[in-house]
Structure 1
């Protein structure tokens, strides 16, 4: 069965005075999909989330979330959406657990879900700590846990693992994969191309308000793999970078037959290399 489109964007543009922040964006996101909206700081990622969540009006074009135009988003839609951004509010004078309990009551969520989520994001041992005493990374984890209390149909994540240590980021990745498997559509903005390659089903590369390329991470890497080559490591620790050729195939076959081959990797470009090739810009 084909997955349902839950976010639809057509010819979306946004201007601030005479400056264009977004220019003619077109994309869609389906249920059970992680969609990566990728680009450097200032490229328009957060502006797009604000439009899609009804916080900011577009200048032109059309956008719909769960079948509702963004201009008409109401409480019934917000009850099906989760949002994690830099300015996602938490109550700093309350404890971690009290924050979660407060939002669980609003959303009609069983209290058992609180302990489960706090454990998953590594905050269960800190549940009695006052939020103002948390580190930036811990606060980010609390905002994420709060945003998925009600198992939203659509989850907007603006740089969700920024400031997190590698082990916590991995736990967050696993949680997002579970949400995806349960049918949640995840709209992920990040400038971490490795994270996007690992998590995303489809990505759009955004530069100065324009989508310069889109597709699956592997398809984009293969599309821009102009000089095919292979990295080979042998048992004697010799390494070779070999071109894509009949001769290379013969060498690799020989090394395999003689049990000399330890590893072989294709050298297609990363998403970051693709982005730099398309825009000439580093991801900062």
Structure 2
């Protein structure tokens, strides 16, 4: 399935799949989104990050035509999001916390229903189930699946028609680390095959692993934007190194000439067990710029 996506788009120019310019959304007297400007290109994962209530889901609803913005311009696959047609929906996939499955159908029959709706050959179902690690559960009732297995089934359904753009709203929320890692691996494969992915999450560690670009959202504003590395280095004000020596001594050294000479001596004499720079994480940066914790 992933190979098919790659073969289908491998020779295309990198295209802008989603463009938002100065988007605002007001509900009665409350401004939920304020001057949002972002874009997603083919083969890119954009992380839209922030705590619950920061405007992530509202943004997804606007760009998928479920809500209209109060101000600004938004286009998806070259079409105004206020004028989305069936043709556009045939080229996007959506996974949200309200995405459902038919509990009393088998795993296979769930995908068969949507294959008919999406005009996709049933021949792709087995390959897709293998890709998401559910081929052994093919005949099992969905009601018997674990939460992580259901989430993988929903993801399989969302990509079975090989969409250009995939929207994921908290796709690994509540999942165990092993299952979350499996979904991460699948998302990276889809990205490498040329799919654009819009990922909302409040899990900053997940975003650091997956995203090419991230927008930190707080109370409807984008307060920081860039690659995860760029953002973290931007706030690396106290340059320090955390060191564990082979004799189990631990040291935290500031970046001074004297300390760098000491560090060099330890490296040359092979006394270092581990060495880490101490730049902040995305979560630390978020708390710095907003004064809020992620909940």
TM-score normalized by the length of structure 1: 0.96
Paired with 2:132 and 2:190, the residues of 1 have a C-alpha distance of 14
Aligned to 2:223, the other structure's residue is in SS state: strand
Aligned to 1:13, the other structure's residue is in SS state: strand
Paired with 1:264 and 1:247, the residues of 2 have a C-alpha distance of 17
Q: Is the 8 A contact 2:148 2:179 kept in 1?
A: no
Alignment partner for residue 74 of structure 1, among 67, 85, 103? 85
Aligned to 1:204, the other structure's residue is in SS state: strand
Q: What residue number does 2:275 align with? A: 264
Q: Is the 8 A contact 1:122 1:168 kept in 2?
A: no
The verdict on how the C-alpha distance between 1:91 and 1:199 changes in structure 2, with shifts beyond 3 A counting, is same
Aligned to 1:40, the other structure's residue is in SS state: coil
Residues 128-180 of structure 1, C-alpha deviations (whole Å, 9 max, x = no match): 23233434333222111100111210000000111222222111111111111
Bigger CA drift: 165-174 or 39-48?
A: 165-174
**How do 1:4-43 and structure 2 match up within 5 A?**
4-43=15-54
Alignment partner for residue 281 of structure 1, among 283, 288, 292? 292
Aligned to 1:116, the other structure's residue is in SS state: helix
Q: What residue number does 2:63 align with? A: 52
How far does residue 2 in structure 1 lie from its aligned partner after superposition?
Answer: 6.6
Aligned to 1:92, the other structure's residue is in SS state: coil
Q: Is the 8 A contact 1:121 1:168 kept in 2?
A: no
Q: Structure 2: which 5+ runs fail to align?
A: 1-11
**How do 1:241-252 and structure 2 match up within 5 A?**
241-252=252-263
Aligned to 1:51, the other structure's residue is in SS state: helix
Q: Structure 1: which 5+ runs fail to align?
A: none
1:177 and 2:192 correspond: no
Alignment partner for residue 149 of structure 2, among 99, 121, 138? 138
Paired with 2:249 and 2:121, the residues of 1 have a C-alpha distance of 58
Q: What residue number does 1:166 align with? A: 177
Alignment partner for residue 63 of structure 1, among 74, 84, 105? 74
Paired with 1:2 and 1:283, the residues of 2 have a C-alpha distance of 37
The verdict on how the C-alpha distance between 1:185 and 1:204 changes in structure 2, with shifts beyond 3 A counting, is same
Alignment partner for residue 91 of structure 1, among 85, 98, 102? 102
Q: What residue number does 2:3 align with? A: none
- Count of residue correspondences: 284
1:101 and 2:97 correspond: no
Residues 101-124 of structure 1, C-alpha deviations (whole Å, 9 max, x = no match): 111223233334322322333322
Residues 43-77 of structure 1, C-alpha deviations (whole Å, 9 max, x = no match): 01011001111111111111000100001111111
Paired with 1:122 and 1:194, the residues of 2 have a C-alpha distance of 24
The verdict on how the C-alpha distance between 1:165 and 1:120 changes in structure 2, with shifts beyond 3 A counting, is farther
